[in-house]
Amino acid sequence: MLAAELIDPMLPALKPTDLVGQALVWMEEHRVGQLVLTDQGDYRGIVSEELLMDVADDDRPLSNVMCLFEQMYVLENQHLFEVLGLAVQHQMEVIAVLGEGREFTGTIQTSELLKKFAQDLGVQEAGAIVILNMNERDYSMAEISRLIESNNVKIISSYFSSAAYGMPDRSRLTLKLNRRDITPVISTLERFGYQIEAAFANAPVESIDQERLDLLLRYLNT
């Protein structure tokens, strides 16, 4: 999903002539703490509710108020992951989207962005989550997928987290599966030498290690 598809048409863009009081009203109406400021179609930055609350005069125009993130924006053809990375890195509640000519085209709300991200990961789909602990050189998605699918189970989504420098055996692969009962999957993976760090399912998961079984019995609210 691209940035252009994530634009929220309901979020207004502020102008330099808008007043502080009006901007605060719009933020309250849309339940956001930030709004984009534009000047004749050009992106100028983001106005923050926190900064506006410190302005004594509600009739002061936004042209006299400090803006944030003047150089922070995304282009229409950037992927959801890139947009989310920018939002998380800079703790932005809204993100400006610009066209090829750097003209402002709309605003993305981070809370809605997170919902889209969760949908793409299959978070709302019923099924179990398995976390494998492995050495990076042993990582083969093709092999792991083959083993899991041999039990008539599909991988809905996956996420590989590289280990810290000097700790190659601490990489993690998180898998969202389309089944709740994953006992056969756990058995197959362990039989082929994969270390199950944790699993979360709506059905009990049996493991050869009773102590680890206590960690595996979790319930996923979906």
Containing 106, the helix (H) or strand (E) segment is strand 104-109
d(Cα 97, Cα 108) in Å, to the nearest integer?
A: 7
Can you name the residues that pair with 146 across neighbouring β-strands?
Answer: none
The mean pLDDT of 178-204, rounded to a whole number, is 85
- CATH architecture classification, 129-216: 2-Layer Sandwich (3.30)
Q: Write out the DSSP string of 60-81.
A: -BGGGS--B-TT--EETT-BHH
Query: Is residue 212 pLDDT above 80, yes or no?
Result: no
Can you name the residues that pair with 97 across neighbouring β-strands?
Answer: 74, 106
- Which of 211, 189, 6 shows the shortest CA–CA distance to 113? 6
In this prediction, residue 202 has a pLDDT band, given cuts at 50, 70 and 90, of low
Can you give the pLDDT at residue 97? Answer: 96
**Which fold would CATH assign to domain 3-119?**
CBS-domain (3.10.580)
Claim: this prediction has a pTM higher than 0.85: no
Pairing type for strands 129-134 and 155-161 reads: unpaired
Pairing type for strands 129-134 and 171-177 reads: antiparallel
Query: Is residue 222 pLDDT above 60, yes or no?
Result: no
pLDDT digits (tens, 9 = 90+) for 62-101: 999 999 999 999 999 999 889 988 998 898 999 999 998 8
d(Cα 195, Cα 130) in Å, to the nearest integer?
A: 10
Can you name the residues that pair with 79 across neighbouring β-strands?
Answer: 2
pLDDT digits (tens, 9 = 90+) for 45-67: 999 999 999 998 999 999 999 99
pLDDT digits (tens, 9 = 90+) for 143-164: 999 999 999 999 988 888 876 6
In this prediction, residue 215 has a pLDDT band, given cuts at 50, 70 and 90, of very low
d(Cα 102, Cα 104) in Å, to the nearest integer?
A: 6
Domain locations along the chain: 3-119, 129-216
DSSP, collapsed to helix, strand or coil, labels residue 180 as coil
Neighbours of 121 (CB within 10 A): 15
φ/ψ of 99, rounded to 5, equals -85, -175
